[in-house]
Amino acid sequence: MTMLLLVLILSSFLGIELIRRIPSQLHTPLMSGSNAISGITLVGAILATSVEGEWAKAIAVIAIFAATVNVVGGYVVTDRMLRMFAGKPASRRDGDRP
């Protein structure tokens, strides 16, 4: 149990330091990578609901909710970014036919 807690603390520290050092221009492209990881987490959390024990099932349900929010949020951010790069539609002139 203490080993798992140590892994959690070290991975949290490493994740914070890694995100802090990434330039802001790269945050959105990296979102698609984190979407893939969250998708894997979602599958693992769904599988974890079959584990015996009420605490394990409760934590699995929380993990399912958190991973789902992360995946949906990632797709929303990616869609917004793609709409920014799509540009504005060309305006029609008065003489142009529809």
Q: How many domains does the chain divide into?
A: 1
- Spatial separation of the C-alpha atoms in residues 82 and 92, rounded to whole Å: 23
Q: Is 77 part of any domain?
A: yes
Q: Is 64 part of any domain?
A: yes
User: pLDDT tens-digit profile of 54-91?
Assistant: 888 888 899 899 888 888 887 887 788 778 777 666 56
- In degrees, rounded to 5, the angle at the alpha carbon of residue 75 between the alpha carbons of residues 70 and 81 is 125
User: pLDDT tens-digit profile of 15-52?
Assistant: 788 778 877 667 666 766 777 777 888 888 888 888 88
**What pLDDT is recorded for position 73?**
83
**What pLDDT is recorded for position 65?**
92
Q: Residue 82: which domain range?
A: 30-86
HSE-up of 12 (CA within 13 Å, CB side)? 6
Give the global pTM: 0.57
- The region that residue 3 occupies, defined by phi over 0 for left and psi between -120 and 50 for alpha, beta otherwise, is alpha
